[in-house]
Structure 1
Amino acid sequence: MRSISWKRHLTGYAFISPFVIGFLVFTAIPIVVSLYLSFTSYDLFSAPKWIGLDNYDRMFNKDPKYWNSLRVTLIYVFGGVPLRLAFALMIAMLLNAKARGIGLYRTIYYLPSIIGGSVAVSIMWRNLFNDEGLVNMALNALGIGSVRWFGEPLAALWMLIFLSVWQFGSSMLIFLAGLKNIPASLHEAAEVDGANAVQRFFRITIPMLTPIILFNLIMQIISAFLTFIPAYIISKGEGGPLDGTMLYSLYLFRRAFVFTDMGYAAAMAWIMLLIVAVVSSVLFASSKFWVHYESKGGE
């Protein structure tokens, strides 16, 4: 019996070993190493030298570019995520209607999220927003005038935000699933009672969707904090103009692989982890005031 039990355990360990080995080699060990490197001076070519909290002191007190990258990232996150979710919810409500060919429309609207983070799309976006691009042509046709998207820091940042809003497909699908779970009888009863479309949206749809909104909000905030490829491609890796698109991840990349300051980059990565953890914790803590669930433990 002991032999059979041991063979069963061994078989189980054999099946999970690829995941365990992969997790240790590519996740757990690198996390521990990066924490150690954050307290060292390391340039990839010589052995790490222990310097204690010097990287963190330099980050907070001696590096204005760090604070600029954090400011730019916060604008990108808290400016782009609400717009992205609002746009995703609007499209989800349109696609929730019963119409012929609605499945095809859902597929088409999801495509930007499949290819939206690629290098090719970032290059396309750069061409759309250049001085003689399609966006400025449209603005001129409307009488608004051209915008120097690559000459003004704030305009360049909003160009990145517009790209993030365009990648709304994943959030849209999750909202669409949530909308389909709202009982039609609730809207019918409210309509019978005289509630108009706006009242039904704010009194029924939004409260019923708050768990979905919380999930989408947290996932999109984490994704926005980690955005790298669009900023790198559109600014050609420089974060310009005037560091206007120098997102946190781009500045971390430049410190690590352009200036070979790996210890400082590791410290930046751990601070980013703490920032994301704090923001997520605040959202979870506040959710009890605005997220509504159908039931809690059968109550």
Structure 2
Amino acid sequence: MTVAVQAAGQVGRTRRSRRVSSRGLAGYLFLTPWLIGFIGLTAGPILVSLYLSFTDFDLLQDPHWVGAANYVRIATADPKFLASMKVTFLYVLFSVPLKLGFALGVAMLLNKGIAGLPIYRAMFYLPSLLGASVAIAVLWRQLFAGNGLINQLLEPFGIHGPSWISNPNYALSTIMILSVWQFGSPMIIFLAGLRQIPRDLYEAAAIDGARPWHKFWRITLPLLTPVVFFNAVIQTIEAFKAFTPAFIISEGTGGPVDSTLFYTLYLYQEAFAYFRMGYASALAWVLVVIIALFTAFSFLTARYWVHYDE
């Protein structure tokens, strides 16, 4: 009797395991299109670029292994690498805080419960959808040209502005302004975070006589730090990857005087202008490491200033 019960239990377990296996197989079959795309379009090119970073591949001949020569050149014998890093770091350092500050300010205004909120929200989000396009970059170039709309608006005030995009002192600033103009995406996220802050806290603070500035520093900002952290990480990564505005506004040169030579633009020049694909692959992996270090630093320091519910 015991043997029969054990045998029946074993058969039941075998059937259940087969059902679980069949369900798992069905799940993997549904995942197959994604797996093919991930391996063929993401993981595969990543591994190939890692291999090419150790070669002298020029798009025309077979790659030849050169070891760490590309990385040694980046670290010791490439002045344009340092110039592009300087431009990129300046862009990240100024554009990201300005963009987040502007987005937070607009979000707080929209959080007042004004009429037609969905319309305003859509209008402010639209630049984030269009800002990275070639058309907007061309329009921006026309706005800040010597005879562009910006200078035409300044003339009635007796201000004769320069050709902003042709002056190395102002060219990078015009691209920063374009980045700040694309504040819609972080603004929507800030607005969602503001909606989650309990109104009771503001009412209690008002009863205690707190001013609006004190409410912002003591209530709004501390409770919004997780959203600030998320937006800061995302926008920093996006800033490091910025390419289209610099390429269009500088006509692919990074000028004037390398003032808009973003790291991604320099990488593009090495790959498709000078056909040094192996060296460009090494530059790409250096950028990956830099972004990873910044992201890791953000997460390590978050414990000291990001406040969660507990």
Q: Report the TM range for the smaller structure's normalisation.
A: over 0.9
Q: What do the CA deviations read for 1:98-146 (whole angstroms, capped 9, x no partner)?
A: 1221211111111111111111111111111001111122233344430
Query: 1:113 maps to what in 2?
Result: 128
* Residue aligned with 2:60, SS: coil
Structure possessing the higher radius of gyration over alpha carbons: 2
2:75 aligned with 1:26 = no
Query: 1:44 maps to what in 2?
Result: 59
AA in 2 matched with 1:136: N
What CA distance in whole angstroms lies between the structure 2 residues aligned with 1:228 and 1:51? 29
Q: 1:199 to 1:20 in 2, by over 3 A?
A: same
The offset of 1:30, in angstroms, is 1.0
- For residue 194 of structure 1, the aligned residue among 195, 205, 209 is 209
The correspondence of residues 151-190 of structure 1 with structure 2, limited to 5 A, is 151-190=166-205
* Residue aligned with 1:289, SS: coil
Query: 2:272 maps to what in 1?
Result: 257
Q: CA RMSD in A?
A: 1.2
2:88 aligned with 1:62 = no
TM-score by length of 2: 0.92
The correspondence of residues 233-248 of structure 1 with structure 2, limited to 5 A, is 233-248=248-263
Question: Can you give the 5+ residue segments of structure 1 that lack an aligned partner in the other structure?
Answer: none
2:232 aligned with 1:217 = yes
TM-score by length of 1: 0.96
CA contact (8 A) 2:144 2:151 kept: yes
CA contact (8 A) 2:175 2:246 kept: yes
Amino-acid identity (%)? 49
2:166 aligned with 1:146 = no
Question: Can you give the 5+ residue segments of structure 2 that lack an aligned partner in the other structure?
Answer: 1-14
The offset of 1:65, in angstroms, is 0.8
The offset of 1:3, in angstroms, is 5.7
How many residue pairs get aligned? The number is 295
CA contact (8 A) 2:165 2:174 kept: no
* Residue aligned with 1:290, SS: coil
What CA distance in whole angstroms lies between the structure 2 residues aligned with 1:140 and 1:285? 50
What CA distance in whole angstroms lies between the structure 2 residues aligned with 1:117 and 1:266? 24
- For residue 241 of structure 2, the aligned residue among 208, 223, 226 is 226
Q: What do the CA deviations read for 1:228-268 (whole angstroms, capped 9, x no partner)?
A: 11111111111111111110001001100111100100000
AA in 1 matched with 2:94: G
Q: What do the CA deviations read for 1:55-104 (whole angstroms, capped 9, x no partner)?
A: 01111211101110010000011110000000000110111111221211
The offset of 1:223, in angstroms, is 0.3
2:286 aligned with 1:266 = no
Q: What do the CA deviations read for 1:24-43 (whole angstroms, capped 9, x no partner)?
A: 11111111111111111000
The offset of 1:5, in angstroms, is 4.8
